[in-house]
Structure 1
Amino acid sequence: MGDYLLAALGLMLVLEGLLPMLMPQVWRETFIKMVTLKDGQLRFVGLISIVGGLLLIFLSK
């Protein structure tokens, strides 16, 4: 179980690093837009990310 968690964390970091490496200006603009969102909007984005991730995990099994 720990190996899978470590692999998942590593994959997440790789995917998170792709956008700033390949398109730094787009990443910067997106980051600025995220900073200007209200707390409720950020929570909604987080919720959608969690649900999407859980759905991907469910579909992969």
Structure 2
Amino acid sequence: MNTTIWMALALVLVLEGLGPMFMPRVWRRMILAMTQLPDRLLHRFGGGLVVAGVVIYAMISMHAG
């Protein structure tokens, strides 16, 4: 796999870890609120994140040459 993808994954893990590390109460409330959302909304949200990630990756790949 491309080194850039592994670096991006590492950055995502670091950013995801900052929430529970520095704001555990806020993070816990956010997770609890998400458990109350309907599945359809979570599917749309997840799909939107995937599309945004693919678009950003494609834009960076094209720009980097």
TM-score by length of structure 1 reads 0.79
Matched positions, count: 61
Residue 55 of structure 1 and its aligned partner are, at CA, apart by 3.7
Aligned counterparts of 2:58 and 2:4: Cα–Cα separation in 1: 15
Residue ranges of structure 2 left out of the alignment (5+ in a row): none
Which one-letter code corresponds to 1:40 in the other structure?
Answer: R
1:47 equivalent in alignment to 2:47:
yes
Residue 30 of structure 1 and its aligned partner are, at CA, apart by 0.5
Q: Tell me what 2:22 maps to.
A: 22
Q: Percent identity?
A: 39
Residue 25 of structure 1 and its aligned partner are, at CA, apart by 0.6
Aligned counterparts of 2:3 and 2:50: Cα–Cα separation in 1: 21
Residue 58 of structure 1 and its aligned partner are, at CA, apart by 4.3
Which one-letter code corresponds to 2:37 in the other structure?
Answer: L
Residue 21 of structure 1 and its aligned partner are, at CA, apart by 0.9
Residue ranges of structure 1 left out of the alignment (5+ in a row): none
Q: Tell me what 2:7 maps to.
A: 7
TM-score by length of structure 2 reads 0.75
- Greater Rg by CA: 2
